[in-house]
Amino acid sequence: MSASRPIAFLTDFGEDDFYAGVLRAVAASIAPASARIDISHEVRAHDVHLASFVLALSFDYLPRDTVVVAVVDPGVGGARRAVVAEFGTRCVVAPDNGLLSDLLVLAPDARIVAIDDDAANRVTGVSPRGATFHGRDVFAPVAASIATGVSASEFGGDAGGVVMLHDVPSLDILSAADPASACIRGTGRMIDRFGNILTDIPRAAVQHVFGARDCRVRVNGVDAGPLRRTYSDGAPGELIAIVNSWERVEAAVREGRAAERFAGLDATGIRFELRGA
């Protein structure tokens, strides 16, 4: 790994305010040689469930020694802990509020350190100026220090377990004696800017349950037909389901917005069901 590791940011701070800029500035002050990567600052405010999903989908595409600052933290200043989670050669500095759930489903053997406030102040030289901006005062300084070569162990001991979101993953496989009666159920996890509804139902689960057989998808009870390969496999305005480039099931409307078919619902309120055709 390089002497100054890349630092990536995932927050709900938005780009209209100055919070994301301050986060990057603090990291640059401590680790000026580190490349800085913005995964997103547009996670919906306080949506830990969405942040967990976005982090997991993005993680493998980051440089192999990246330190991630993940801050979607509605409990800032409260009893929740701050942690460093090491996933092989990458690591994440984040609140212990479920944000790591999707990653930990994929890598349950991750090493997780609970950050001690006094140790963080001593090692980084940064003292909090209040209780409401731990991204600036704790997460970014700790991540930048790790990027310059400080061991996660300098900040505390083993966390002894972390908070997990109870509905991650959303996947539910219903087996049956008759393979034709088998079913996969899940929920939406994200609505992207195109109005597509992404799920955490993986291609591997579809292949495991249905093999080479076709299956049909229903989205909140609406028939979306068989799984397609691309958006162009649907007619304009047609609700379809595909396995997307993240290898997850997704609902889309060619040249339209699938989410508009389910107005008033957020992603997690949209149910998916796959059954043999």
CA atoms within 13 A on the CB side of 6: 16
Distance separating alpha carbons of residues 97 and 169, to the nearest angstrom: 16
pTM for the model stands at: 0.94
The structural domains of the chain, ordered by start, are 7-155 (3.40.50.10790), 172-276 (2.40.30.90)
Print burial letters for 163-178: b (CB count within 10 Å at least 16), e (below 16): bebeebbbbeeeeeee
Cα end-to-end span (Å), the chain: 49
Binning pLDDT at 50, 70 and 90, where does residue 181 land? confident
Q: What pLDDT score was predicted for residue 179?
A: 66
pLDDT tens-place string over residues 85-130: 999 999 999 999 999 999 999 999 999 999 999 999 999 999 999 9
pLDDT at 1: 47
When the pLDDT of each residue in the chain is averaged and rounded to a whole number, the result is 95
Q: What is the mean pLDDT of residues 181-185?
A: 92
- Residues ≥6 apart with Cβ < 8 Å to 167: 49, 187, 268
Distance CA 51, CA 43 (A): 6
